């Protein structure tokens, strides 16, 4: 990993309008992503965790401009040149997209059932005029070998493959154009544990071999801890905490992170019934609570939490820092994982 920043997101917002009635009058907004800022260094893996509806997938999609952000700056550094992805037009986007790719969650719905594996993996090469004919076939074969698939299966259709193999096809497709950044959106959550381990190992090997940078979106904390250098925790459209993986897991500073860590069922019976249970439900992003969004569920909440949204501040000056959005971050002594 080096010091160079590859991607920097500043004040990213994505509001989805809620339309009602015949005239589709806008009644309000779902603030799916609300003022999110972070950076990813070259060759690094940033884990993005949160529960469903926290906006982690929307963040990933905004970065790739699969959907257009409402506000904010997404800077992508390519050969020391800064490109603001949020303001590119379609033609410019096409140029930049080959440097950033995505791996999807569901390997059953993310591959076109009417295309052969060769067509699926070869499509990005064809679209971008990188290769065709014989050359294309060679490149596809090479990509398939890289992800551990046998090139002789090139002429088969996705239905002939198992879930883990399909996910490998998806990974090969993402790799086809030698991208710098790969947004992995829950790449292993649809897979069985044994296949999940294989896929995680593959992603790590590929990262080492090609100096890939990952934005790794997942809800499984074990997986995120395993693969990430740094982790960002999202709650109702906002990042509540970012720190280096070990720091975040050992020494969480946001009560929500603490609760998340406590809620994971540990595969060891001795931890049984030691987990404290967070009451209540995730807030509605269309109508979030006042002040800190987490205060109705937070065991440490005080009056100020109900009134003011806490500032996102760095509380650890050395290393990569430890950013947290909680009024009491410095006072609380929260429990992490040993």
Partner 1 sequence: MSDNILLEVKNLKTYFHLDEGIVKAVDGVSFKIEKGKTFGIVGESGCGKSITAHSIMQILPPRGRIEEGEIILHRESGTVDIAKIKPNSEEARKIRGNEIAMIFQEPMTALAPVYTVGNQIQEAILLHQNVKKEQAREIAIDMLRKVGIPKPEERIDSYPFEMSGGMRQRAMIAMAICCNPSLLIADEPTTALDVTTQAQILDLLRTLQKDMGMATLMITHDMGVIAEIADDVAVMYLGKIVETGPVSEIFYNPKHPYTIALLKSIPKVGEKKRKRLESIEGMVPSPYELPTGCRFHTRCPSYMAGICDRAEPSAVEVNDGHKVSCFLYGGNENE
Residues that bind partner 1 (CB under 8 A): 51-52, 162-165, 192-198, 200-201, 204, 219-223, 225-228, 245-246, 249, 259-269, 271-273, 275, 277-279, 281-282, 337-338
**Shortest approach of partner 1 to residue 245 CB, angstroms?**
6
**Shortest approach of partner 1 to residue 318 CB, angstroms?**
20
**Shortest approach of partner 1 to residue 195 CB, angstroms?**
7
Nearer to partner 1, 266 or 313 (CB): 266
**Shortest approach of partner 1 to residue 71 CB, angstroms?**
27
**Shortest approach of partner 1 to residue 56 CB, angstroms?**
12
Q: What is the 3-state secondary structure (H, E, C) of the chain?
A: CCCCEEEEEEEEEEEEEEEECCCCEEEEEEEEEEEEEEEEECCCEEEEECCCCCCHHHHHHHHCCCCCCCEEEEEEEECCEEEEHHHCCHHHHHHHHCCEEEECCCCCCCCCCCCCHHHHHHHHHHHCCCCCHHHHHHHHHHHHHHCCCCHHHHHCCHHHCCHHHHHHHHHHHHHCCCCCEEEEECCCCCCCHHHHHHHHHHHHHHHHHHCCEEEEEECCHHHHHHHCCEEEEEECCEEEEEEEHHHHHHCCCCHHHHHHHHHCCCCCHHHCCCCCCCCCCCCCCCCCCCCCCCHHHCCCCCHHHHHCCCCCEECCCCCCCEEECCCCCCCCCCCCCC
Nearer to partner 1, 133 or 269 (CB): 269
Nearer to partner 1, 141 or 200 (CB): 200
Nearer to partner 1, 141 or 282 (CB): 282
Nearer to partner 1, 133 or 280 (CB): 280
């Amino acid at each position: 990993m080096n010091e160079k920043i590859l991607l920097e997101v500043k004040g990213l917002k994505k509001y989805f309008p809620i339309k009602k009635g015949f005239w589709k009058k806008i009644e309000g907004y779902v603030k799916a992503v609300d003022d999110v800022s972070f950076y990813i260094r070259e060759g690094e893996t940033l884990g993005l965790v949160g529960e469903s509806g926290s906006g982690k997938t929307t963040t990933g999609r905004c970065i790739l401009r699969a959907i257009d952000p409402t506000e904010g700056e997404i800077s992508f550094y390519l050969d020391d040149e800064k490109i603001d992805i949020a303001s590119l037009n379609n033609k410019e986007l096409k140029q930049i997209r080959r440097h950033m790719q995505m791996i999807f969650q569901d390997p059953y719905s993310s591959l076109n059932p009417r295309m052969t594996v060769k067509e699926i993996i070869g499509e990005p090469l064809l679209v971008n005029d990188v290769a065709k004919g014989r050359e294309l076939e060679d490149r596809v074969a090479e990509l398939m070998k890289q992800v551990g698939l046998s090139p002789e299966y090139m002429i088969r259709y996705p239905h002939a493959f198992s879930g883990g193999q399909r996910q490998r096809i998806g990974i090969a497709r993402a790799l086809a154009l030698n991208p710098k950044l790969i947004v992995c959106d829950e790449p292993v959550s649809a897979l069985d544990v044994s296949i999940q381990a294989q896929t995680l190992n593959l992603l790590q090997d590929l990262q080492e071999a090609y100096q890939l940078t990952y934005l790794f979106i997942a809800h499984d904390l074990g997986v995120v801890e395993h693969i990430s250098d740094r982790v960002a925790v999202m709650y109702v459209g906002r990042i509540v905490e970012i720190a280096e993986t070990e720091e975040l897991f050992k020494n969480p500073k946001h009560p929500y992170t603490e609760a998340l860590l406590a809620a994971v069922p540990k595969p060891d019976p001795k931890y049984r019934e030691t987990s404290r249970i967070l009451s209540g439900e995730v807030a509605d992003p269309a109508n979030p609570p006042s002040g800190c969004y987490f205060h109705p569920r937070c065991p440490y909440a005080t009056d100020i939490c109900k009134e003011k949204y806490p500032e996102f501040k760095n509380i650890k000056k050395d290393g990569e820092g430890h950013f947290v959005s909680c009024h009491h971050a410095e006072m609380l002594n929260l429990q992490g994982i040993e």
